[in-house]
Structure 1
Amino acid sequence: MKIQGRLFIWLSVFILIMAIVYGVWSKEPAGTTALFLAFGLSVMIGFYLGFTARRVDAGAQDDKEADVADDAGELGFFSPHSWQPLLLGFGGAIAFLSIAVGWWLIYFAAPFIILGLFGWVFEYYHGENRTQ
């Protein structure tokens, strides 16, 4: 994770330089603002990855002598049959469409988003005292 953190920090330096050059050269506020926001996002990601890398064990990507097989293994649990991302995507699409069409469309998107989030969070929850 250390190398990813460093990559994002160097990316943020590049984006900051480009934001300053773009802002001075074009005098266009929207693009300049977007580049400065991208700089901030890159700094946040780089700081988080560097902060987390100090608290977890070194991975194979941090060892210069590591092989590809050293990083093999389980990456986590991914639900193979979840419909909740589809529901959230549909609700998110309607919500973003409301920016173009009208804010009243949010009222139709909110139930999909709420049900999708609730379903995704509690997808594998079967109660605290379940015997199986």
Structure 2
Amino acid sequence: MKEQGKIFMGFAVFILAMAITYGIWSKEPAGTTALFLAFGLCAFIGYYLGFTAKRVDTGAGDNPEAEVADDAGEVGFFAPHSWQPLSLAIGGAMAFMGVIFGWWLLYWSIPIILIGLYGWVFEFYRGENQNQ
């Protein structure tokens, strides 16, 4: 994680330099704002990865002598099937269409998004917070 944090902080420094250069030369506020927001995003991610690397064990990515097999093992639990991403996609598509066709479409899309989000978060909770 330490190496990924350094990479993202390097991206952040580069994007900051480009944002300043672009802002001075172009005098265009939208692109300059987008570049400064990209700088902030890279800085946040780099700081988080660097901060977290101090708390966890050194991973295979931080060891220059590591083999590919050193990083093998269980990554986590992933749902084998779920309908919730489909409802989120439909609700998100409707919300974006609301920007185009009219804001009234958000009255139907926001409940679909909230139902899909709630269903995805609590999909595997049964009974007393049981993970099945």
Q: Same fold (TM over 0.5)?
A: yes
* Residues 40-79 of structure 1 mapped to structure 2, 5 A cutoff: 40-79=40-79
- TM-superposed CA distance for 1:125, in Å, is 1.0
State the Cα deviation string for residues 92-123 of structure 1 (Å, max 9, x = none): 11112212222111111012111101111111
Q: Which residue of 1 aligns with 2:102?
A: 102
State the Cα deviation string for residues 57-104 of structure 1 (Å, max 9, x = none): 111001010000000111101101111111111111111221222211
Residue type at the aligned position of 1:91: G
Alpha-carbon distance in 1 for matches of 2:56, 2:87: 34
Alpha-carbon distance in 2 for matches of 1:129, 1:36: 42
Alpha-carbon distance in 2 for matches of 1:129, 1:69: 34
Q: Which residue of 2 aligns with 1:14?
A: 14
- TM-superposed CA distance for 1:129, in Å, is 8.2
- TM-superposed CA distance for 1:48, in Å, is 0.8
Alignment partner of 2:128: what SS? coil
Q: TM-score, normalised by structure 1?
A: 0.94
- Unpaired segments ≥5 residues, structure 1: none
Q: Which residue of 1 aligns with 2:39?
A: 39
Alpha-carbon distance in 1 for matches of 2:129, 2:64: 47
Same amino acid, percent of matched pairs: 68
Q: How many residues align?
A: 131
Alpha-carbon distance in 1 for matches of 2:41, 2:129: 42
Alpha-carbon distance in 2 for matches of 1:48, 1:92: 28
Q: Which residue of 2 aligns with 1:82?
A: 82
Over 3 Å counting, the alpha-carbon distance change for 1:103 and 1:61 in structure 2 is: same
Q: TM-score, normalised by structure 2?
A: 0.94
Q: Which residue of 1 aligns with 2:25?
A: 25
- Unpaired segments ≥5 residues, structure 2: none
Alignment partner of 1:79: what SS? coil
- TM-superposed CA distance for 1:56, in Å, is 1.0
Moved over 4 A (4+): none
